[in-house]
Amino acid sequence: MSNDEMQKLLERVHQGITFFDYNGSKVPCIILSEQRIEEIMRSVREKPISVDTNLNILQDGLGHVFVEVVFTFSLGGTTETILVNANKSMGFFESLAKTSMLVLSSPNLGPGKENIFMIQLPKPEKAVNALEIIKKGL
């Protein structure tokens, strides 16, 4: 991977990576803009929905690992792609493998706000396999 390609990836890395406490479990959380969360919530509110979550691992063989997390919602034609720097966010993927859950949230998390969208991964082994690949790539 050239320096230019590396720079482009680093510029795309999502900064809003954190954790959400759910019944004492540390669940990985991706912070999206208030507007984006509202768009997602509006498109899925009160509807049965599934979210296909894919982890596309990008690595250069020199210890740089990025993961493109792609959410495809079954309704509303909604797709969200987030690039995570695995070198700096290893805990995110360890928690994902442990809990098999992921939270999308707005930056203004607070009581009474409907700005949290929880996703349960239907195939937990995919997160575990991804974690193993990430660890090998680092």
Q: What is the pLDDT of residue 57?
A: 96
Tokens of 128: 């575990």
- 55 forms beta bridges with 69
Residue-by-residue pLDDT tens, the chain, 138 positions: 788 888 999 999 999 999 999 999 999 999 999 999 988 888 888 888 899 999 999 998 889 999 999 999 998 788 999 999 999 999 999 999 999 999 999 988 655 556 789 999 988 999 999 999 999 988
Q: What is the pLDDT of residue 47?
A: 83
Q: What is the pLDDT of residue 77?
A: 81
Q: What is the pLDDT of residue 138?
A: 83
Residue 83 and residue 75: Cα distance in Å, rounded?
23
Contact present, 45 and 119 (Cβ < 8 Å) = no
Q: What is the pLDDT of residue 78?
A: 87
